[in-house]
Each structure stands twice: as C-alpha cells, then as structure tokens.
Amino acid sequence: MRYRMLEVVVLISSIASVLAGLQNSVVFDGTTLKFYDGQHDSATFGTAVVSCIQKGGELVMPKNKKLNDAVAQVAKKVSIAWIAGGGFFGEGNYEWNDGERHEWSNWAGEPDNFGGNENCMEILPPLEGMWNDKDCCAKRGYVCQIRTFIDDEIFPPNQYCLFIHHRLQ
C-alpha cells in the first residue's frame, strides 16, 4: 500500500512539474513549441541554438504561416524572440538553420542589415509574428521546437490513461 501511495505522489508531482513547464509552451502538429523568456533565459543566437539542442530539440524554424502564428502565440509575453534562420551567407541570402531557403517569409519591411551586422532572425509577436534581422550577439528569449514523445500515434489518449491506471494497481 505504501508503494502505491508513493507512486501516486510521484505521478502527481511529475504531472504538476509538466504542467508548470507547459505554461510557456504549445503543442503544434506533434511538436512542442517551448518558449524561454528573455528575463530568465536571455541568450545570444548561438547560445539559443545550443540550448535548444541540449533540451532535445532545435531553435524553431517557422517555415509557414500556421507554424509562425503558433510561435508568435507561445512567445506573446515578450516583444521579441530568436527563430532559427539568418543571412549567414550575405545580406538578402537568408536561410533556415537546416540550410533550406525561405519559401515563405514574414519580414516586417526587413531585412535591412542595420549597422552592417544583422545576420540573425527574430520574431516580433506583438506585430503579428513578423520577422526582423538582428545582431546575433544581442540577447533575446527564444523558442525551441521539441518533438512530442507522447502523442496520439504512440499513446492514443485513452490507452495512455489506461497505462497510468494499470501502473497504479
């Protein structure tokens, strides 16, 4: 009986921890978009890229309007956040971090390479998720995209509940 109680306490504690982490996240198309705010997790572009990899994901690449809107929604608490793209091969030659060219874009009258050193991309949630080019050394919040491990294909909702229920018996 004690072990069952311990399992319940651990499960409730785990669920509370997951829910606390979801306050700044949203699930989009089988991927969790997790926002790390600029107050506690402010990072340069390079640090944001590495941080997302360490968290088991990658800096988000909003390659279409639906994903861009989801990113803007999760990052809405701040005015700016890093996204994974830049003009690393010269101004006007913007690519995603995976090397793909932009087939869809949402530039806010940009990129303008102000000061001659704006080669990284940020999203501006208050401006409908429009993009801006920015100096890669500036510190910003950022959004990681992390593949959701427990999704409907792996654990259909009812089966996942049954799985938890059987573990508690």
pLDDT reported for residue 82: 94
pLDDT of residue 34: 84
Determine, yes or no, domain membership for 15. Answer: no
Q: Are strands 130-135 and 31-36 parallel, antiparallel or unpaired?
A: unpaired
Give yes or no for a contact between 72 and 129, defined as CB atoms under 8 angstroms apart. Answer: yes
The DSSP output letter for 157 is H
Q: Give domain status of residue 41, yes or no.
A: yes
Any domain includes 43: yes
Q: Domain range holding 137?
A: 31-168
**Angle, nearest 10°, between helix axes 2-21 and 157-168?**
150
Rounded Cα gap, residues 99 and 133, in angstroms: 17
pLDDT tens profile 87-122 = 766 656 788 999 898 889 999 888 888 888 899 999
Dist. CA 166–CA 84, nearest whole Å: 41
Query: For the chain, what percent of residues have pLDDT higher than 90?
Result: 35
pLDDT at 110: 83
Domain membership of residue 104 (yes or no) is yes
Q: Is the pLDDT of residue 61 over 80?
A: yes
CATH code (residue 93): 3.10.100.10
Q: Phi first, then psi: what are they for 80, rounded to 5°? A: -150, 150
- Mean pLDDT of the region 80-87: 90
Answer with the residue of higher pLDDT: 31 or 2. 31
Whether the ω angle into residue 156 lies within 30 degrees of 0, i.e. cis, is: no
Cβ-Cβ contacts under 8 Å for 76 (sequence gap 6 or more): 125, 126
pTM value > 0.85: no
* In a domain? residue 125: yes
Mean pLDDT for the chain overall: 75
Does 45 fall in a domain?
yes
Average pLDDT (123-151) is 86
68, burial (CB in 10 Å: exposed 0-12, middle 13-18, buried 19+) = buried
Evaluate whether residue 123 is within a structural domain. yes
In this prediction, residues 43-68 reach a mean pLDDT of: 93
The end-to-end CA distance of the chain, in Å, is 10
Number of domains in the chain: 1
- Hunting for tokens 């969790």 — which residue is that? 32
Residue 161 has pLDDT above 50, yes or no: no
* Residue 23 located in a structural domain: no
